[in-house]
Structure formats: C-alpha cells, structure tokens
A and B are shown apart, each in its own frame.
Chain A
C-alpha cells in the first residue's frame, strides 16, 4: 500500500471569466522511501496539488489517501492532526517561526505531534550543520541556513511523507544542491516518502520518479 495516494483529483478556482480548472483528474502515489519529483510550467497546478496533498487546500473531487485514511474527507481538525503527525512540509520561503530560536523551531513540530526525541533532534541538527546555531533566531541566518532549519523541522517529527515545494528555489545553485542532497539523504535514511515540486529538470533527474503536469493533467 502507498504511503500517499492521490486519486482522480479535480480542482478549479473561480475567476471573473468563470471557473478555471487547475487539476483535472490527477492521480499519483508515493511509496515509503521513494522520492517523486513533480515538474511542470508555472500555473500547471503543481503547488496546488502539493497543497491538496498536505490537506491545506480542499479538493472538488477525488481522494487523498494516507494509507487507508482519506484526508480529503476529514474535517479541518482531522486534517490538522494528520498533518501534525504524518506530513512534513518544506516551502520555498522557509516559513520558519520567527519568534522561536533555531533549536525551538527544529523541535516544534515534533513536540506538537508528541514525537519529540531530543537525541534525534541533536543528531539532526549536527547533520544539518546547525549545531552552533541553535540559540540564534531565523532572521539571523542566511537563506541556506534557514532552509536547512526548515528541513530539519520537518524531519524531526519523523513524518511518513515529506512534501517540498521548490525547497531550493530561493537559494543559489551551490547552496541549493547541497541542501537538496541533504534532504534526499535524510529522507531516504528515515524511509520517508518525498514528493518534490521543482522547476529544475536537473533536480528532478536525481529523484526516483518524475511526474510532469501540463494544464492540470499528467503529461
């Protein structure tokens, strides 16, 4: 059974000219330890699909299955609980909690999910090169450092699925490559399924599978 299975997802948005269909019957699956790249042009619906997978965006039709549990059918509180315990999210803009230190940011989701393991967190921080930065605040870090904190925060909760939306889009190529390699390594080591939205064919090439979206459909 897939860790994450999106089945026949439909989604449209209202506009002045009428509804715009963004996703039209998209299906995909992510297995344990598998890294899936989702590529496509701007406006093809990649991020919308990722948001749907995270339970951030409701679907018009279709199923978002984590094992046998359909996230799309859950109320807001159920979706939040599933997100807290099962999903890790990494964004292009890092989205760290600015009022918390690096250490607190790293541990936050794990503690929220009741899965905090201090030793694991410390090890993760060391592997991410953040051990000396734990008492700093996000605004005091570079972009690359912030993204490493965001990845660490997502992985510290030992999620079954990691959803990453252009995680290196805001970084220069060298930093982006290093961060991506680290994320890949950690996700594979934990057996976490990774769905990665990217524009980069080079990064997609390093994944187990690449799925291309065009006009809301799988190409």
Chain B
C-alpha cells in the first residue's frame, strides 16, 4: 500500500535519523582574562570607530577590552503621527541601552531589565544637554546602544549587590561595588561611543561628551578596622577600574561622569559607595577629579574617532584633485 500519510500535527524528525554533534573542547585553550598590569592613573586602551552601520544616520563601535558595544543614532525623524505628544519645539531625545543576551557573565533576557533602563536614563542625562535640540523642532533623535560584551554579571546579581551593599555591612568586602564598577565602565563607554555616533550623524552639539569612571580603594586592614572617626589610611584611586579590586585593597566608592572637556562641564554624575561624611567633601572631590581625568583621557580618542569620516572624505577629495592635476600636466 501507499506510505502512511505524514503526521502534520507535530514537528517530525528527519526520516533518515540524526547524529548528535560533537564539539571540540576549547575550554582548555581559552585565554584567561589576564590581570593587566597598568598604573592606577592610566585607562585601558580604547578602540573607537564611527560610521560602521550604513542604514542609520550615525553609528559607532567601541571596544575597551572586554567591553564591546555599538551605538546607532537615528533621526532627526518626524514624531509618530498618532501620538498624544504635543508640539515639540525641541528635538525629543530617546536613549535605549540593551545588553545582548550573551553580553554578561550571567545570561540576560531579551526584555529590558531594570539596570538597562537605569543605564538608558543616565545616558539620556549625559547627552541631552550637549545636543542643540532647538535646531531640530518636531523631531526625535534616537540613540540605541547594544552591548555585545562586558564584565557585568546580570541584573539579578546587580540588584542583590546593590541592595545589600546599602542595607548591610555583612557583605564580603570584595563584592562591594562590584556591579557598580562593571556598570560604570559600561556607562562611561556608552557615553563616549554615543557622542561619537552623534557627531558622525552630523547632529549639532555644544560639545562632545566623554565618559570617565574612577574607583577609590583602601587597604583591606583599614576597611575592616574602620573606626568611628573615619580615619582610614592611604587611599588608592584607580581610573577605569577593573571589576576585581587590586590585591589587598577594599573598594569604597565608584564615580562615573559624563564630561564636556571643552566647556569644563559635567553632564552626568553617578557616585555609589561609601565616602566618609566628615572628610566626605574632599573625598568626593578627589574621586570626581579622578573620573574627570579619565574622561579627559578618553576625549582624545573620541576626537579622532569623530573626525574619522570627514578625514576620509577630505583625503579622497585631495587624492582625486591631485590625480586631476596630474592629468592636466600630462596633456599640457
């Protein structure tokens, strides 16, 4: 008789059977994240390029090992027609930060979680004052950041650390501010890369905003025996800090800033951790100064990346002009 009618209600396996795939083990050869030896005042090397995505107005890609992220800038585009938003005399900026599911050490979901929303609003704050929004009425500018790799450990871990860090001192010292350091490096990278993408898009700005992050550490012994007089020993300020604290040191606080170097203005400031109340003012000032120094250091990279496309066009124009000049010489 004829073959049995195929079962269309279920997902059928292939008729010829399958073989389970065999993967070569790479875990033994996988390079370990080495503890790089760099002075505390030096930031990691930054790789920043612009104009990689053709379908958007402006884009950039940033890499500060192991952080990788790409930024797309869309617009200025018309406001959605059916929206209830009233007439907007200035451009409406929207920022969105999304971790790829594989970007953290703990896998993330596809929906935006609370730390992504938090980073998005901080990025908005860092950029909104720098854009000349009055030049773009009735329009919106969208900044979309996709993080492809980071030292971050996922939203659940962040929430636990952040809440417990504030609630109790039972937490092990090396975990304090761990999430803040990871997210701080991410946010600083987002700010720098987003400015480069906005410049690439040709959107007018008062100044480029560069991100900087710094942490302050004390000797472990000091942190344990910290008295009520807040007299702690020598503090160690680290710019662009790694997630793991330096050996024998306990973290106190982390500061992230968005900094407009040409105007000497801070557009975004995020400090978390413990800074003593009595010496608090000077401690905080010192930490902010360190973060500003880190932001100044990344500004140089940002300037070059922002110029990249224009430089290419000018170079090409000069090359063709030179070729034409040669032609004239030959004919003449």
A and B held together in a complex:
no
Tell me the B residues contacting A by CB distance below 8 Å. none
